[in-house]
């Protein structure tokens, strides 16, 4: 008499993917103080003082900068 083999059900693991990254565009204006822009870049994007200053100056001189 043949034996019936029962295979246990295995739940499929969902594939996790890295979230898609967004490009944040910093636009120069005549109202926001430079020091505030540097503070926000340091706080939200975890940039160093030097990096934040360079991004701010790039946006200031070119009118726009991708963070």
pTM of the model: 0.68
Structurally, how many domains does the chain consist of?
1
Does residue 1 form part of some domain?
no
Chain segment 40-53, per-residue pLDDT in tens: 999 999 999 999 99
We report the CATH number of the domain holding residue 40 as 3.30.1390.10
Residue 50: domain span? 25-66
Find the DSSP H helices in the chain: 34-45, 49-62
pLDDT in tens, the chain (67 residues): 667 888 777 777 888 888 888 899 999 999 999 999 999 999 999 999 999 999 999 999 999 999 9
58 within domain boundaries: yes
Question: Is the separation of the CB atoms in 66 and 22 below 8 Å?
Answer: no
Domain assignment present for residue 57? The answer is: yes
Q: Is residue 5 part of a domain?
A: no
51 in a domain, yes or no? yes
């Amino acid at each position: 008499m043949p034996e019936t083999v029962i295979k246990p059900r295995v739940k499929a693991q969902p594939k996790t993917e890295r979230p898609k990254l967004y490009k944040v565009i910093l636009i120069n204006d005549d109202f926001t103080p430079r020091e505030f822009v540097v503070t926000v870049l340091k706080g939200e994007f975890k940039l160093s003082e030097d990096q934040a200053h360079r991004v701010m100056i790039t946006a200031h001189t070119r009118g726009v900068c991708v963070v």
